[in-house]
Structure 1
Amino acid sequence: MKNSLRLGALMLGTSLLLSGCAATASTEPATDQGPAAELRLGYFDNVTHAAALVGLQNGYFADTLGDTKLSTQIFSAGPAAVEALSAGAIDAAYIGPSPAVNTFIQSAGQSAVIVAGATSGGAALVVRDGIDSPADLAGTILATPQLGNTQDVALRSWLGDEGYETSTTGGGDVTVSPTDNAQTFTLFQSGKIDGAWLPEPWVSRLVLEGGGHVLVNEADLWDNGDFPTTVLLVRKAFLEEHPDTVRALLDGHATAVDWLTQNPADAPAVINAQLTADTGKALADDVLARALTEVKFTVDPLATTFPALLGEAVKVGTAKDGDLNGLFNVTLLNAVLAERSEGPVSAGGLGTE
């Protein structure tokens, strides 16, 4: 039964991921139409998306957007958010780097651009008792949030480095089963899966509430522990048509990130207030406290890591290779930072700054 878990969804996801998500936007640049009447923003109810949670709960976005109406939509994984953005259903999204890269390449650079970073760190492989080393993973079932999302790519790449074969349609030496995070938690508690590579707060929930332990902290796989978990992605056409609105969004975003870094003692209450507003349920205090120790909030998108991220996705078969030039446009962010007397961030040679 375990090896058949969600294989139908896996095959559907593979088809959508490798053949779809390409935007149909015109290659002709749009003209500046002034502030938008509405900005539709996507995000996840994850600690790694705390900038969005704080920006909403503390009213920073509302303050900076002024007369522009803010509408929000909650997602559980990046590929689904990218599909909505590529279809024009949302204008901007807090999202992991892998789906952002995938839509950029699939659309030949026309769908969306990264305008800021949000979070570094906060992802790990949590496993059950009895799994104490990579050698113990043969024949196991491990979950990720969605096929082709950032943690899915990280797990498949790491398993490959450890000598295991995986498949985007199920099977292999280790079965990787893309599963909704809440369902992953339930399956892990009931012993139906052996572990999961997830973002916070799900790592901390599996450890503190599910009885698991961390086998791999993704930070240990990167120089200085710095790797992007969440970035802010904007539809390219929306940026071209409404640069003032995107700048206003970035102003609120930078305020939220600054607040998170300067108010660690107050952050749990604000994050939980927004989670409660969204889901009707707050995180346990110990879960949220542990999760926040694993992340770093930053507007720097860590652009120089993206060629390696793309290489991993291509290697595991969840993305096609392509040119990343133009993926970043941090010009408006750097203007916001300059107004705050803060230093600029880099596009890593992959865009404008």
Structure 2
Amino acid sequence: MNKIRTATALTTLGLVAVMMAGCASAAADAGDGGDAAPVDELRLGYFANVTHAPALVGLEEGLFDEALGDVEVTTQVFNAGPAAIEALSAGAIDATYIGPNPSINTFIQSGGESARIVAGAATGGAALVVREGIDDPADLAGTTIATPQLGNTQDVAARVWLADEGFETDTSGGGDVQITPTENAQTLTLFQDGQLDGAWLPEPWVSRLVIDAGAHVLQDEADLWEDGEFPTTVLLVRKEFLEEHPDVVADLLEGHEAAVRWIADNPEEAPAVINGAIEKETGKPLADAVIQRALEHVTFSVDPHADTFETLVENGIEAGTQKEGSIEGLFDLRLLNEQLEAAGEEPVSAAGLGED
């Protein structure tokens, strides 16, 4: 039986309560939206990754459509966070599932004007996988490893870990270990062809390299965090959109919560649904063993684990991929907590880094 790890603080009866009440008062607090014209479309970004399963399930099961009613959900698929941030900053999308480090980057670079994290989505599910013959960090000297994109969450993790192991890297691909930002699908091909020695990746790519390409895990990122909990995916909304259309964001959150709940409540069906969504985007389904292994290493939760974000800021600065700056105000969890409280569940914390 496939094991899917979930940490949803939600109940079925609570969802009914949320749908009946709760969204209105939080929406009023998040922004009045009084002068904004109504919208008939919400443009949502996500990746075709297991760590973005709430997005995949929400779309496949019609949970976003059900929650948003007359507001149509249109989507754009990205390979990594920095590309999604470009689209968000340009106004091409309104919200996106994304890793924490690009969320931090855009907030700091915009002086807090670009976007807000409104919920968590996934924790865990990232690791450094390497070829045969690399059995110890010291064996990485002179090797080349891939990350999804310069400055994305796994790229930062790789650079900081390598520095802790005594290796120098730089953002142009030099140093004791060369880091080559590479699209995930291409990383698999290059690794199979012997052109890469390893990669720091999110799921399902970790499991694909392990099962399909004979790699092994040298460092599971979960082992670097207290209790193994580190945010992999959050739900980020453009600040202007949140202020002008808090009611639409509340409905998006309702669909998001329903998707997290669905994964928890349907452990037998979830792998096939998630795999089917990945197949639509990539043209090929994952092997059963890959999707099962990947899901065992990811926990789905609406808690963004805001208490880890100061450490993530320090990591980004150390990695040389972000500027110094404050992230106070990065989180706006009021709409989420209004729904959780209506469901009789404990609110999640912004850890002093915004509204909750």
Q: TM-score, normalised by structure 2?
A: 0.90
SS at match of 2:338: helix
Matches within 5 A, 1:1-353: 33=36, 35-353=38-356
Which residue of the partner structure matches residue 3 of structure 1? none
With 263-272 and 184-193 compared, the bigger mean Cα shift is at 263-272
SS at match of 1:309: helix
For the aligned residue pairs, the C-alpha RMSD in angstroms reads 1.3
Q: Distance in 2 between matches of 1:106 and 1:31?
A: 28
Q: Distance in 2 between matches of 1:36 and 1:331?
A: 21
Question: Is the contact made by 1:35 and 1:243 (CA closer than 8 Å) also made in structure 2?
Answer: no
Q: Distance in 2 between matches of 1:232 and 1:191?
A: 36
Question: Is the contact made by 1:165 and 1:172 (CA closer than 8 Å) also made in structure 2?
Answer: yes
SS at match of 1:159: helix
Q: Distance in 2 between matches of 1:209 and 1:131?
A: 18
Could you report, residue by residue, the CA deviation over 1:24-65 in whole angstroms, capped at 9, with x for unpaired residues?
xxxx99755375211000000000000000000000000000
Question: Is the contact made by 1:119 and 1:295 (CA closer than 8 Å) also made in structure 2?
Answer: yes
Unpaired runs of at least 5, structure 1:
1-27
Question: Is the contact made by 2:126 and 2:203 (CA closer than 8 Å) also made in structure 1?
Answer: yes
Could you report, residue by residue, the CA deviation over 1:271-330 in whole angstroms, capped at 9, with x for unpaired residues?
122222333321110000000000000000000100000101001100001111100000
How far residue 226 of structure 1 moved from its aligned partner, in angstroms, is: 0.4
Q: Distance in 1 between matches of 2:218 and 2:277?
A: 30
**Amino acid in the other structure paired with 2:185:** A
**Amino acid in the other structure paired with 2:201:** L
Could you report, residue by residue, the CA deviation over 1:165-213 in whole angstroms, capped at 9, with x for unpaired residues?
0000111000000000000000001110100000000000000001000
Question: Is the contact made by 2:331 and 2:355 (CA closer than 8 Å) also made in structure 1?
Answer: yes
SS at match of 2:213: coil
Number of residue-to-residue matches in the alignment? 326
SS at match of 1:198: strand
**Amino acid in the other structure paired with 2:338:** A
Could you report, residue by residue, the CA deviation over 1:125-180 in whole angstroms, capped at 9, with x for unpaired residues?
00000000001000000000000000000000000000000000111000000000
Question: Is the contact made by 2:33 and 2:245 (CA closer than 8 Å) also made in structure 1?
Answer: no
How far residue 262 of structure 1 moved from its aligned partner, in angstroms, is: 2.2
SS at match of 1:209: helix
Question: Is the contact made by 1:143 and 1:195 (CA closer than 8 Å) also made in structure 2?
Answer: yes
**Amino acid in the other structure paired with 2:292:** A
Question: Is the contact made by 1:31 and 1:240 (CA closer than 8 Å) also made in structure 2?
Answer: no
Question: Is the contact made by 2:121 and 2:235 (CA closer than 8 Å) also made in structure 1?
Answer: yes
With 134-143 and 275-284 compared, the bigger mean Cα shift is at 275-284
CA gap of 1:35–1:285, structure 2 versus 1, over 3 A, is farther
Q: Distance in 2 between matches of 1:74 and 1:272?
A: 15
Question: Is the contact made by 1:34 and 1:244 (CA closer than 8 Å) also made in structure 2?
Answer: no
**Amino acid in the other structure paired with 1:79:** P
Q: Distance in 2 between matches of 1:320 and 1:264?
A: 41
How far residue 263 of structure 1 moved from its aligned partner, in angstroms, is: 1.8
SS at match of 1:324: coil
How far residue 110 of structure 1 moved from its aligned partner, in angstroms, is: 0.2
Could you report, residue by residue, the CA deviation over 1:105-127 in whole angstroms, capped at 9, with x for unpaired residues?
00000000100000000000000
SS at match of 2:223: helix
CA gap of 1:248–1:302, structure 2 versus 1, over 3 A, is same
How far residue 337 of structure 1 moved from its aligned partner, in angstroms, is: 1.3
Q: Distance in 1 between matches of 2:134 and 2:288?
A: 27
Q: TM-score, normalised by structure 1?
A: 0.90
With 34-43 and 210-219 compared, the bigger mean Cα shift is at 34-43
What is the percentage of aligned positions where both structures have the same residue?
Answer: 65
SS at match of 1:94: strand
